[in-house]
Structure 1
């Protein structure tokens, strides 16, 4: 590997010598970053025997598997310092916002760049709550899902379905500059979709929950907070003067605030990748929801609970720790792609958990979680690898204590993250220079040019080991009818939360 040349004294640039050609290049450094396209100028003749697919004559490509060190845009929204354990929304430390703000106020901050005045927030809140009501036809849509459908599959589908109602919000129908013009009319259309998506996110999630429980759907109430309305829609069973428990309502609001944004994570990047084609925001948010569904992202807090259940009692923790070291078990809720020290959100969630447990009683898995936490934090294996608890380690325990089923945990992540996705979407639509469709490069390592071979002359290569079974249009295997007990896979138990009912 060649050594980089010293840059001229006082110059904010990077000097590079290409030893293939002997040429030197000076690349500007802006905000401690260099442009990947500057390397396209560093071309060279193809070496003898080199594959033409390397495209050496077209300039160097930058290889960054998994986006470990590639910046794809300039952003003003969220700052993370993973080494120092810092998270700030628009410059405000997450610790201050969690203590002083609310989820909706923070949503305004993330989307529009500043904390709202009292009158600004009132308008914002009123618009979001006004747009929480879903068209009556949606009931039929939700009832069409199987009785055991995962709630994230339902929510993802519902977000995409929602876009079918609003042709005025579709650039494919209204013109591709619908959201990019930046004029008064364009901003008004953009704001309305923001209100709709944030407002309806809780309603769609509650409907996904209730259809799984076999309950009737609930119209969003008036006079409650954002998280209060959400809890009401899930738990209301006809009680007179029912309101959610204020402690649980506040706890959920804090969790929503903490999950509102986290810079360019997998789901936010998915939203932007999808949005770069200028698709409608409902489709883009649905794509983000699908990305969040994965166990390496939004499914992590569900994985924590399953892990703690598998451990069982605190005395089983040492054996589990040793199994993790031997790579026989997976440790969930520790470590983070960005944070190399503690996740700053984890401390806030741990404090919130204490407040929730005062109402619901301590979760039976709490002692196991504490034993695992203490053992891992003292073990050199985890210390050396900087595996500290993240936000998912404690949030799952809170959701479980509040009575949410395990597979609903990712939904509780997706609902508040709609805010962050919209903030990044809005920023992209209004960015200087307009929107360019994202088109990453690849390094092709497959076969070089080869000629077609007639079927009778081909030699068998690796393929399916046996012929796939054939299925008829009803989903039955040929010659065999598959039966499944509905009762065996669907619990009829309703969610019960200690102290959740409070008279007005």
Structure 2
């Protein structure tokens, strides 16, 4: 990067640094610029300026929350938030939801093309074959409290899997285990992909049955991916038990549309973790932990809790007004990416109609419809582009199917494992190898300070500057009041 020239004027960005008067030309490729190019824009430190600003080392790009920072070149998922478009490898999500299934779409996301019949048969067979768990995993799951949150169990379960497969750990088998791209490396990678997708439903079902106080079920043969999942959750020894085909299909559609959504928080977490070349089980566990948060995987649960709080349809107008006054939170509307409608919401709404034919209408449906209609007609929400998203309807389906509220995020994780693996595999095989992700910061803390002995320090008092005082009770309180020989003097 240097002085601008006429030949480089097109497909470039011309930047003038008013601090120095210098002009720089930054190339534009695929409508993006390299953040590292700004490191060449340097200036002398001003008198009295903090050395921590590192002005002489070049400009830094500040982007809190990754609002406009691209961290990877990808060929997997395309989203146009303004137009309400979602495509997997170029295929519109609407076409896939109508004509494909979850495992076929998983193949597409991971390997880049729709499989032939033979390829699909092999792929599905391997996935389902790898659903069986090691016997020791039963003891692992039984160690959780009866009321443990299923997401805590699932996150721990993914991490546990890595301990069973030392041949899958680059720390043990060499850091190029997944990055070589040769036949042996790809075979090792694919084996972990089979295991993670196959065992995702098994882990989720085990977390579910721990809460129910039931024995675990070995994955059956002859059922689909979602059929096997429902079987593992619900089978109690009945002869020739087969899940309802309408619910099985509905769950498959929901899995398909939740399989990937580009670089959301959990996918970014998987890639951030995976960039250290950790084993894929640990990376997936990290993604699971990220999705656990209420700003991500808990959104559909929040919708149901919101509808429960509203109660009847006649209470919707007062709730709408409370939202406008910022007294209430509106869940299930708007999206970080979509600024019009969420294309997945239409698919889920259609799926909901099919499910309700079998289960009966959820008592909250009328309230949801009233809220939907009121919000779509209200200028307040129209101006803010707050249209219903996928979470608004999916929670109603899960509730109608009888899943507990805190299990909703688990039903998000199981299909999203596919998207995480697709992006992880892409990063492992990217041209130029894997570079560990190391964001910069803008340091605004104290400058250099000299150490002061304890008896010479002035106390700093403040709610955020001092540890909180914790009230103790029970055995801790009694022990603190007791006297005994080994008690440390404070």
TM-score, reference length from structure 1: 0.92
What residue number does 2:486 align with?
Answer: none
User: Closer, same or farther in 2 for the Cα pair 1:44/1:329, shift >3 Å?
Assistant: same
* Pairing 1:272–2:286 present: no
Residue segments in structure 1 that go unaligned for 5+ positions in a row: 481-504
Q: Which residue of 2 aligns with 1:152?
A: 151
Contact 1:109 1:115 in 2 (8 A): yes
1:371 paired residue number: 370
Question: 2:391 matched to which residue of 1?
Answer: 392
Question: Which whole-Å CA distance do the structure 1 matches of 2:156 and 2:357 have between them?
Answer: 37
Secondary structure of residue in 1 paired with 2:32: coil
Contact 1:81 1:339 in 2 (8 A): yes
Q: Give, in whole Å, the separation in 2 of the partners of 1:277 and 1:9.
A: 37
* Corresponding residue SS for 1:444: coil
Equivalent residue pairs, number: 474
CA contact (8 A) 2:8 2:25 kept: no
- Counterpart of 2:302 in structure 1 is 303
* CA deviation string 1:126-159 (max 9, x = no partner): 0000000000111110010111110001000000
Q: Kindly indicate whether residue 115 of structure 2 is the aligned counterpart of residue 113 of structure 1.
A: no
CA distance in 1, matches of 2:230, 2:89: 29
Q: 1:8: how far off?
A: 6.2
- Paired residues of 1:7 and 1:15 also in contact (CA < 8 A): no
Question: By how many angstroms is 1:457 displaced?
Answer: 1.2
What TM-score, normalized to structure 2? Answer: 0.95
**SS at 1:242's partner residue?**
coil
Q: Secondary structure at the match of 2:433?
A: coil
Distance 2:477 2:235 in 1: 45
Matches within 5 A, 1:57-72: 57-72=56-71
Structural mapping, 1:178-327, within 5 Å:
178-327=177-326
1:304 to partner: Cα distance: 0.4
1:496 maps to what in 2? none
> Measured at CA, do residues 442 and 310 of structure 1 come closer, stay the same or move farther in structure 2, by a change above 3 Å?
same
Q: Describe the shift of the 1:299–1:15 C-alpha distance in structure 2 as closer, same or farther (beyond 3 A).
A: same
- How do 1:394-473 residues align onto structure 2 when only pairs under 5 Å count? 394-461=393-460, 462=462, 463-464=465-466, 467-469=469-471
Q: Is the 2:270–2:287 contact (alpha carbons within 8 Å) kept by the matching residues of 1?
A: yes
CA distance in structure 1 between the aligned counterparts of 2:138 and 2:372, rounded to whole angstroms: 43
Q: How many angstroms apart in 2 are the aligned matches of 1:47 and 1:371? A: 60
Is the 8 Å Cα contact of residues 332 and 388 (structure 2) preserved in structure 1? yes
Q: Deviations over 1:230-289 (max 9, x none)?
A: 000001011111100000000000000000000000000000000000000000000000
Tell me how far apart the structure 2 counterparts of residues 124 and 240 of structure 1 sit (CA, whole Å). Answer: 29
**Is the alpha carbon distance of 1:7 and 1:245 closer, same or farther for their aligned partners in structure 2, counting shifts above 3 Å?**
farther
Alpha-carbon contact 2:16-2:22 (below 8 Å) kept? yes
Counting only pairs closer than 5 Å after superposition, residues 33-112 of structure 1 correspond to structure 2 as 33-112=32-111
Distance in structure 1 (CA, Å) of the matches to 2:478 and 2:406: 34
- The alignment's C-alpha RMSD in Å is 1.5
Shift of the alpha carbon at 1:477?
Answer: 3.3
1:9 positional shift: 8.3
Q: Flag the 1:455–1:417 CA change in 2: closer, same or farther, 3 A.
A: same
Give the secondary structure class of the aligned counterpart of 1:347.
Answer: helix
Contact 2:162–2:282, Cα closer than 8 Å, also in 1: yes
Partner of 2:136: 137
The 8 Å contact of residues 7 and 14 in structure 1, kept in 2 or not, is answered as no
Deviates more, 1:222-231 or 1:16-25: 16-25
Partner of 1:32: 31
Note the residue ranges of structure 2 that are not aligned, 5 or more in a row. Answer: 480-490
